[in-house]
Structure 1
Amino acid sequence: MRDPTAPTAPTAPPRGADPTPIVASARAAAASLADCAPGGGTLAAAAPLSGRAVFVLVFLPFALGHFLSSLMRTVNATLAPQLVAALALTPGQLGLLTSAFFLAFALAQLPVGIALDRWGPAKVQLPMLMLAGVGALAFAGGQTFAQLLMARALVGLGLGGCFMSAVKAISTWIAPARLPSVQGYLIAVGGLGAASATLPVRLALHYMDWRGLFLWLALAAALTGILIRALSPPQPASGRKTALLEAMRAVYRHPAFRETAALVLIPHTVFFGIQGLWISRWLTDVARYTEEAVGYLLYLGMAAVIFGAIAVGMLTEWAGRRGVAPIRVAAIGVALFICVQLGFVFDWRPSYQLLAVLFTLVGTVTGIEYTIVAQSLPGALTGRAATCLNLLIFLGAFAVQAGFGLVVGCWRPDLFGHYPAIAYQTAFAALVLLQLPGLAWFVRRRARNPLEWVSHPTRP
């Protein structure tokens, strides 16, 4: 790690970087799925599939959709300098433009969740990804801030079912005891998608502009939807019409859902909102790194998401075998995540690089709430539970991403357009204050009942 007082670009990784970690992750996921008992999922009516069939027909297609969703969610962090230059955006406008994805994504959650439980993930994903493709086309052709804002929202709306469709699909075929590691692999694929939005996108911009990039993303969205529909095995669907408010009440009233959301929800929104845009701006404005250096550090951070997600899944399974509840793992992870954010608040100068990577590495622990809810709620509610979580997470991420920009915009930039460190310190301090009450409430509650720290039985 170089001297932070000399903010020159770090050495770029060599061409043809070793893909072994990614290949190893894919092989580990395949092995984990192969170990699962056929038909061990939550829906007994599902026809048995071998572990390899689950990996090829279920995990890979839906993981590809999640990969694309993560890429398009975070790509603005890399494109921010080009977008600011093209449209003369203020921090508030940049935050609003990028966070429009989160707002539209959130609005899609409940309707899509009910559709997942009624018709199954494959039938839902095809039209949704086609809609995302239309949004990407509109973004590529947008000429004004308002046009790009609407197009970005349309992309978020179309990608609103990618992660929860994957959760629903693998929850159908994977035994509950194996969900932490398999969902960890799924989140790792999302990390790979976010990593692809950094250095690979910067390399692509050598051959095309950001408009051409979105044309290719539109094509990728359409092809992914077709692939999911063609490969996914038929999954049982309830066919039961469920009122929207009834679906919300059934999930929100469940004690495990409320406890998990109280502890992990706000940290998760902070992770999504900051990682998708403001880490790159902080590296530019405060650390004063070049665009090339920022792209490299974003790539390292997104690579850390891959390993962090796999590690969290494996650690949760290991702890569960020793009687430690996943909620306890989540509490420890949230405490560490808040400590990392305090480094931003106090402007920890020994290594800005390490701080930026630690934010994404430790922040992956927030994804554990999907596993906790999937293990704790009845199988018939898994689709709606994932969508209710996403509704809250992405509404919160919208508020965090847009609000962070408004706070930073309260200060004036210097002649080079850089905002002062105090602007970012204030914004990060506000986020820490929002997260502390949930952790303090959890620790206080569990201190009164130590037996709740042990693992609870998973749902039937």
Structure 2
Amino acid sequence: MNEIVALHARFTLAMAPMPSAAAQSEACKRGSARFDEFVSQVERRVQSGTSLLQETLDRLSARGSKGDFGVGASDVSASFAKPSMPDEASSHPAAAPEGGTESALQDGTISRDKRLGQILDAIESRSFRQRSGRTIDQTGTSISRAPAFTLFAFLAKNRSLLLRVFLPFVAAYYLSFLFRTINATMSETLTSEFGLSAGDLGLLTSVYFLTFAIAQIPIGILLDRYGPRRIQSTLLLAVAVGAALFAVADNFPLLLAGRAVIGLGVAAALTAGLKALVIWFPKERVPLLNGVMIMLGALGAVTATLPADALLAAVGWRMIFELSAVLAACCAAVIYFVVPEASVASVVSGPTALGLRTIYSDCRFWRLAPLSAGCIGTAWALQGLWAAPWLADVEALDRPTVMRHLFIMAIALSLAALLMGLAADRLRRRGVDPKVALGVVGAVFILVQMALIVRLPLPSYFAWAVVASYRANASPLP
């Protein structure tokens, strides 16, 4: 029914035959006034909290002295009465000037769109409350409350999509976190076996992020054109090749090449998952699902600490990467054969939907990008490699204690991802701008880093947990 109404509205508003040039001015005036009347009726309906159908039935059932159709008949008719039209173009803010249809439609659009946006926000908020089990009387007052809409209820209702879409992309993101963080655990072993300097170790870790960053824009275009299923499954095969190359490497250049291919392969791990969520799940649940996906994917960072250290002692680092290559290949097969193909309408054709020039010339992008990129990049660098040397060299901690710190950081990242998703969902429903939350979290992150630099007596586990937690801010809030 929603689709039928939407198609009817689009045909009525956008596809009706154009009137003659002489009649365009009057048509624009009538259309503008009719639209404003429609907005006013929607606003009154939202404020009353009752449906048009129910109101009509109530009125028709109330028999009175106004004829066979009851007391409400004239009122119902009046509610659908033709709105009065202005006599002159200047009497209405959106009336058509002499310049023609285009200029007529532009006048008054900003203020009217703002008003309509506020009404739509109210409708969305009411819809969410009703889905949550809250009953609203005709005055808009809550008269009863059922059990709140919970994450578990949503998961139960969408079991099939969660198994066929959500979990396969979560598995890919898990591998991304595993490879991103594993060098911090293996740095000592790789340094001793290959005679790496601090610069070599830093290059080995950063080449992952270098290829990862270079591939982002092309992969974004490919995701828009071909969808997340094909792109993610293809790139995961590159992860398998890179992990296998890293496992058999006997010199530093081969290690570097393997790590670079891995970075290229996991470049779509987050964006493909987000794209899949946008395609397959309700948009009001996407921020929460973003947080859940990052939380589960961050378990890869957890695996890269104490569990990986135990596995390193048992089977060696080469076997770890061989197993990772097999896991990546299996994940690629699952995504390709299990995830359904996105509909044509869900995939934007080519990069023209929102060009790079549009993005980079938007002042809103430049207000957010430096803070977000700087903080997230710092958090990745610290947890991915440099936290371990700092803890060992500056804090003079032994290896078991260092690994416990990395483990706590990974746990903090995982939990913070879920909390960020819940916070983004709650803030959106309360009308709080996510940019505010982004700024607050970024400020806390910077202050904690300054505390570490000047050696303030903060609990070490707490400070590094806050540093790791900022990585969870990468998706739900922006």
Please indicate the TM-score interval, normalised by the length of the shorter structure: 0.5 to 0.7
2:250 is matched with 143
Q: Of the candidates 204, 214, 218, which is equivalent to residue 97 of structure 1? A: 204
1:181 is matched with 288
Q: Of the candidates 349, 358, 367, which is equivalent to residue 240 of structure 1? A: 349
User: 1:322-344, CA deviations, whole angstroms, 9 ceiling, x for partnerless residues?
Assistant: 22111101110001001110122
Q: Of the candidates 285, 294, 297, which is equivalent to residue 402 of structure 2? A: 294
Work out the CA distance in 2 between the residues paired with 1:72 and 1:29. Answer: 29
Work out the CA distance in 2 between the residues paired with 1:30 and 1:58. Answer: 17
Work out the CA distance in 2 between the residues paired with 1:204 and 1:282. Answer: 24
Residue 286 of structure 2 aligns with an amino acid whose one-letter code is: L
Residue 289 of structure 1 aligns with an amino acid whose one-letter code is: L
1:358: how far off?
2.4
1:352: how far off?
2.5
Q: Is the 8 A contact 1:125 1:162 kept in 2?
A: yes
Superposed structure 1 runs of 4+ greater than 6 Å apart: none
- Structure 2 residue runs of 5 or longer lacking an equivalent are 1-149
Find the residue that maps to 2:266 and give its secondary structure: helix
1:119 is matched with 226
Q: Of the candidates 291, 305, 316, which is equivalent to residue 198 of structure 1? A: 305
Work out the CA distance in 2 between the residues paired with 1:318 and 1:151. Answer: 42
Q: Of the candidates 376, 379, 385, which is equivalent to residue 271 of structure 1? A: 379
Residues 305 and 239 (structure 1), Cα distance of their counterparts in 2 relative to 1, 3 Å cut: closer
Which TM-score applies when normalising by structure 2? 0.65
Work out the CA distance in 1 between the residues paired with 2:184 and 2:368. Answer: 29
- Considering only aligned residues, what root-mean-square deviation do their CA atoms show, in Å? 2.0
2:235 is matched with 128
1:282 matched to 2:382:
no
1:224 matched to 2:224:
no
Q: Aligned runs of 1:2-401 on 2, under 5 Å?
A: 31-34=153-156, 51-237=158-344, 238=347, 240-242=349-351, 247-361=355-469, 363-364=470-471, 366-368=473-475, 371-372=477-478
User: 1:168-216, CA deviations, whole angstroms, 9 ceiling, x for partnerless residues?
Assistant: 0001122232222110111111211111100110111132111111100
Find the residue that maps to 1:205 and give its secondary structure: helix
Residue 268 of structure 1 aligns with an amino acid whose one-letter code is: I
Work out the CA distance in 1 between the residues paired with 2:350 and 2:298. Answer: 35
Q: Is the 8 A contact 1:126 1:225 kept in 2?
A: yes
Work out the CA distance in 1 between the residues paired with 2:414 and 2:323. Answer: 24
Find the residue that maps to 1:207 and give its secondary structure: helix
Residues 58 and 360 (structure 1), Cα distance of their counterparts in 2 relative to 1, 3 Å cut: same
1:101: how far off?
0.4
1:229: how far off?
1.1
Residues 335 and 193 (structure 1), Cα distance of their counterparts in 2 relative to 1, 3 Å cut: same
Find the residue that maps to 1:106 and give its secondary structure: helix
Residues 31 and 62 (structure 1), Cα distance of their counterparts in 2 relative to 1, 3 Å cut: farther
1:315: how far off?
1.5
Work out the CA distance in 1 between the residues paired with 2:211 and 2:374. Answer: 19
Q: Aligned runs of 1:416-455 on 2, under 5 Å?
A: none
Percent of pairs with identical residues: 33
Find the residue that maps to 1:115 and give its secondary structure: helix
Q: Is the 8 A contact 1:183 1:371 kept in 2?
A: no
Residues 141 and 258 (structure 1), Cα distance of their counterparts in 2 relative to 1, 3 Å cut: same
Shifted more, 259-268 versus 282-291: the winner is 259-268
Q: Is the 8 A contact 2:376 2:474 kept in 1?
A: yes
1:92: how far off?
1.5
Residues 265 and 359 (structure 1), Cα distance of their counterparts in 2 relative to 1, 3 Å cut: same
Q: Is the 8 A contact 1:192 1:303 kept in 2?
A: yes
Work out the CA distance in 1 between the residues paired with 2:363 and 2:274. Answer: 21
Which TM-score applies when normalising by structure 1? 0.68
- Structure 1 residue runs of 5 or longer lacking an equivalent are 1-27, 35-49, 373-460
Residues 340 and 31 (structure 1), Cα distance of their counterparts in 2 relative to 1, 3 Å cut: farther
Q: Is the 8 A contact 1:33 1:174 kept in 2?
A: no
Q: Is the 8 A contact 1:33 1:54 kept in 2?
A: no
Residue 372 of structure 2 aligns with an amino acid whose one-letter code is: V
1:124: how far off?
1.0
Work out the CA distance in 2 between the residues paired with 1:69 and 1:239. Answer: 26
1:149: how far off?
0.8
Larger radius of gyration: 2
1:30: how far off?
5.4
1:353: how far off?
2.9
Work out the CA distance in 2 between the residues paired with 1:154 and 1:132. Answer: 7
Work out the CA distance in 2 between the residues paired with 1:179 and 1:254. Answer: 24
Work out the CA distance in 2 between the residues paired with 1:336 and 1:118. Answer: 38
Work out the CA distance in 2 between the residues paired with 1:176 and 1:228. Answer: 22
Residues 153 and 177 (structure 1), Cα distance of their counterparts in 2 relative to 1, 3 Å cut: same
Find the residue that maps to 1:235 and give its secondary structure: coil
